Structure 1
């Protein structure tokens, strides 16, 4: 059973690594750009695509390039959201898509920005729903694009560093231990699950704390 788990994981990692590194990196950047663009982030699993791409990293240089492309993709996505908020925000909010999101979420995003200011922009990268709505709300608010970038850039760098380094490190450690340790596959799966569960839990905790503060 242990050998079969290792064989299956090795096969999956080899499949990811067999994809051309340039294509793999560009797909991760595109996915995170869509994930951080207005509304699209509610349905596109950019986090998952970045994790999968990171498991195929075979060198430090590849890891840095992947991280840089993901950061650029995230910034492009958030910039698109900001620009749409500046020019089309009210129309999007009253459209059928805006109504589908729900007025309560729009109001929550506005209250969050008013209360936290720049910190709201930073934290929104780590929060569900708000990571798509806050850039749009910031654009609608008249907040300057330069100040927006000053807050969102470090958030994108931190987020990307965590995802890429943990996923790539887990895959590399697994490959080094797979031949000598039959339980290596379970360790790898455990690390990835801890990453996903940890991120999900952290998002929930931050969101709960922020909701409590907004209602105080």
Structure 2
């Protein structure tokens, strides 16, 4: 795929499925204790460091952003897809949401206490991931927290349909935690912990918990 075609395809795909995707994931946090635990850990880390804004990058329909705010975090969401942002604003009108690509994260240096990126780096080609992690590093204050959630594996798969049978055209990149951890360290992060979800299933996922080095 040449140039930024993958960005256009990703935006169009999630615009197409925004409503059905929101319907499918709306109860995910309430049903899955490990997701709640991970968000609580991020909230505690931000508070322990003195607080501050937290960006949910690739926020989708905004349910995770809203949950962080319930935990007392000053969270806001950004997403590439205008369709997703429209749904997020509809469902969570008290929360700030903006259309923004993580490839062009225009936030002041050191302005964030934390960044959450759940299942959003999975659509980023390998060659662009280090640059995005550098954007994250720049936006975070010293000691700021970063939490990633991604699919574990070795392969990249073209997704042509999803979330109610709607047409999609985007790649899902599965990666090993060790590889993502190496990218994080190269970008100036200290990896503090990792957790695998359903490690013996066909679709394992991984959390990585990292902190911006001084």
Q: Please confirm whether the aligned pair reaches a TM-score higher than 0.5, indicating the same fold.
A: no
Q: Which is higher, the Rg of structure 1 or of structure 2?
A: 1
Greater relative contact order, per chain length (Cα 8 Å cut-off, separation 6+): 1
TM-score scaled to structure 1, two decimals?
A: 0.30
Task: Considering fraction of residues, name the structure with more strand.
Answer: 2
Q: Greater helix share, 1 or 2?
A: 1
